[in-house]
Every structure is written in C-alpha cells, then in structure tokens.
Amino acid sequence: MPGMAHDDDKPIHRAVPSGRFARAGAFGRLAGGVAGGMLAEGARRLASGERPKLGDLMLTPGNAARVADRLSHLRGAAMKLGQMISMDAGDLLPPELQAILARLRDQAYRMPPGQLDKVLKAQWGADWRRRFRHFEAAPMAAASIGQVHRATLPDGRVLAIKVQYPGVRDSIGSDVDNVATLLRVSNLIPPAIDLKPLLEEAKRQLAEEADYIREAERMQAYGERLAGDPRYVVPLPDAALTTPLVLAMDFVPGQSIETLVEAPQETRDTAMTALIQLVLRELFDFGMMQTDPNFANYRWQADTAEGTGRLVLLDFGAARDVPPETVASYRRLIEAGLAHDRDRIREIAVETGFLGAAAVAAHRPAVDRIIAAIDDTMARPGAFDFGDRAFVPVVREETKAMIADRATWHVPHVETLFVQRKISGTALLCARLKARVDVRRLAAEAIG
C-alpha cells in the first residue's frame, strides 16, 4: 500500500484524532510549538548579531521535528499531501523541509485495538468477528489514510482488509488548507503562484481515495483489462465485505519491488519493461491511469508458472480518467521526441503547459540545453539505460537559475501534473533498479 510501513518498522499505537475540534486543536498546538521554537531561535540569532528571515526561523531542525510529528499525528490528508510533495519535488525543497517529509514517509503509527474494533463494528456490525475464521489484530502494513490486516474466511480464502482511519474523509478540506498554509508561511511558494486549482484538485483526489467502494470498482476494472496478460496480477475485491471505509480484497503474495535491486539484469529489465508498457497502455489505451507511483504500490512474484515473473499491482485509490486533450498532448510530445525535433519539443512543452512561457522566454538557452541533453541520451540506439544518469547533472545545473527565478515559476494544468507524476515516478523506479528498457520502441508502438 502507498507509503506503507511494515511490521519490522516498530510501529507506535496512537489513536487517530477523528473530530474536527481535535484536529484543529492539534494544529493549534503545532502553531504554538513552532512559534515558540521560532522565538527561541530568533533570540539566539539576534544575540549573535544575525538578522534572520522568517523562513529560516520556520525551518529550524526543532521546528521540522514538531511539524513532522504533528502531521503524522493527524494522518489523513495532511500526511498524504506531504508524501505527494516529497515524491514529486523532494530534490528541489530546502533540506529542512525534506527532513519533515522524510519523517512522514517513515512514520508507522497505528490505531489501538479498541479504536479498530469500534471502526469495524460501525462498518460490519457488532458480531463482525463471526465472518472470519481468523482476523489478525496486528496490521501487516500502515499508511497515511488506512492500515491493512490479513484475515481468513471460513472457506480458507485469505484476504487483505484495508481499514480507513476515522475522521479522514471529514478532515480532507481543512487538512489540505492547513498544509498549504504551512507552505505559504515557510515562504516556500512564491505569492504569485495560484495554488487554488491545485488545492481543489488535491481535495477532490483525496476524497476519491477515501472512497473504498470507488477504489474497488477501479481495481475490478484494471483486473478485467489486464486479465489476458500473464505479466500482471491484480487483487480481486470482495464486494460483500467492502464498504466506503473498509476495502476487502484477495491477499496476493509478493516481494517488495525494490528487492529487485539485487536481481539479475534480465529480471530487472523484464519487470520495468512491463511497468513502462502498462503506463503507456494506461495513457493511450485505457484512458485511465493509477497516478500514485509510490514504489509500495508494486510487488513482484518471481516464481510463476510462466517462469517470467509478474508485477503485482496494488492500491487503485488514485486511479483517475485521463482527458483526451491530455492524451493528445503526450502523443504530440512523443512524436516530436521520436523525430528529434528539439524546437518542436520546446514549442509543444509550452503549448501544453509542461513549461511556462515566461520561464522559456527568460531562460531559453538553459531550456534548449536541457532538451538537448535528454534528446542526446534518448537517441542512443538500443535499450535506454536508466542506470546511466549522465544527463542528470546537466539538467540539475541548468535548472538552478530557473528555480531561483521565482517570478517565472509555473504550475502546469492539474491533469498534466498527475500524469507526469506517474511518468516521473516510474522513471525513478527504473533508475533505482538500473533497468535497461527500449523506451523509444515502446513509445513508438504505443502511439502507432
């Protein structure tokens, strides 16, 4: 499950605040603690002759710890949004905020047994335990908005039961607004950037992710679309036990996808070729994409009847329809890339909102060097080696001035952002596994 911490991570049982007042009080305590830390740090710096900035005081190590602890206490949308930011922009954020978000990813707080029992009684009735031969009280995984338990039905079938933390759905709006306030106060987002469309979309997606009946429907749809391809396995949801706050599905065994780091090159290449082909099918065939590329959403079955291994696909809460105009934008961009038409790549990137017109106008030479570095790398014959990161330092160096020029920052359309998040996350996993994949051939086939 996304962001899931497993049993060996020494979880801490902590009741999740479910009421609006409890959650507001938690942020009030956070504000008070951070303000106290800022005053103390400000006094210390003034005494040493410095004139500290507000952002510097906000992101002290002590305040980073306070923010991470409070957001993890709240769980839900606040933690989920933090995880999304950390995966999408972690390398571009100040080290102190990276520390906050890293702590969020590593937290493993879980509901105490009494709170879990109360949630399940509300969903399944007071005698819910009679539905199972065995229900493991200790969760096998925990994440931002729910935790997962293994259970066995009377007929011997083993299920994975995802139980949502209480209060998550009701707190989405306020949690997202509070995280946005945190970003504003810490001076991480330029005032000229209009966050409203992004915040509204974040609220909408998080509300969809918190609807487990919707997730079960998306899981079923993916299972049907991939049923004829032995390279993928999708759990089957159990409709009789699934409610808006509880998702029951087949337990599918598999190893963490990241363990493939130690696997033979051929195995890594096979797994990532399957994943890239799936992303291309989502975009150009399904018209629907699971937009959360968290590594924990993929597992690997090495020993299969076919002998080739299979990707296990988990968590479909972030599966969303892709608008035709977004699909058309990516098709045009791929066509220009395959033709090595660098001017056209830049033009389409601006037309479709991948790049801001102001940023390109102000930093045209840097943009052209970035496009050239990527195109040169992709133009090499044969499989693309994701382990060869020669172009990354070029991109990082050329983007420094663009990132520093906050007046030209640009936020792409939200639909483009979600698709690009999946593509970037997939490339990140391929790089982690140092996979070699013939990306150009797969892209040409996908749009052909």
Among residues 177, 292, 321, 375, which one is catalytic?
292
301 token code pair: 């079955």
- Taking only the tens place, the pLDDT of each residue in 381-401 is 889 999 987 788 888 888 888
395 token code pair: 């991109």
Cβ-contact 374, 395 below 8 angstroms = yes
Kind of pairing between the strands at 12-13 and 384-385? unpaired
Residue 215 in this model has a pLDDT that exceeds 60: yes
Q: 322 vs 72, which has greater pLDDT? A: 322
Q: Nearest 5 degrees, angle CA 97-CA 100-CA 101?
A: 90
The closest alpha carbon to 267, from 314, 226, 296, 310, belongs to 310
Residue 72 in this model has a pLDDT that exceeds 60: no
Q: How many CA atoms does the CB half-sphere of 59 hold within 13 Å?
A: 19
Q: 336 vs 307, which has greater pLDDT? A: 336
- What SS3 class is residue 255? strand
What mean pLDDT do residues 349-357 have?
A: 87
Furthest-apart CA atoms within the chain: distance in Å: 73
3-state percent helix, strand, coil for the chain, nearest multiple of 5: 60, 10, 30
- Taking only the tens place, the pLDDT of each residue in 273-326 is 999 999 999 999 999 999 988 888 999 998 755 557 999 999 999 899 999 999
pTM, entire model = 0.80
Q: How many CA atoms does the CB half-sphere of 220 hold within 13 Å?
A: 12
Give, in order, the Cα–Cα distances in Å from 182 to each of 59, 64, 358: 11, 11, 27
Residue 339 in this model has a pLDDT that exceeds 50: yes
- Taking only the tens place, the pLDDT of each residue in 8-28 is 444 455 554 455 444 444 444
Walk me through the domains of the chain, giving residue ranges and CATH numbers.
Answer: 10-108+172-190 (no CATH), 112-164+211-252 (3.30.200.20), 253-448 (no CATH)
H runs (alpha helix) in 107-235 = 113-124, 168-185, 196-209, 212-225
Q: pLDDT-based confidence at 121, cuts 50/70/90?
A: very high
Quote the CA–CA distance of 239 and 71 in Å, as a whole number. 33
The closest alpha carbon to 323, from 289, 361, 374, belongs to 289
Q: What is the b/e burial string over 37-71, where b = at least 16 CB atoms within 10 angstroms of the residue's CB?
A: bbeebbeebeeeeeebeeebbbbbeebbebbbbbb
Quote the CA–CA distance of 298 and 429 in Å, as a whole number. 10
Residue 412 in this model has a pLDDT that exceeds 90: no
**Catalytic residue flag (residue 303):** no
Q: In the prediction, which pLDDT does 417 show? A: 82
Q: 126 vs 187, which has greater pLDDT? A: 126
Residue 61 in this model has a pLDDT that exceeds 90: no
Residue 335 in this model has a pLDDT that exceeds 90: yes
Cβ-contact 327, 287 below 8 angstroms = yes
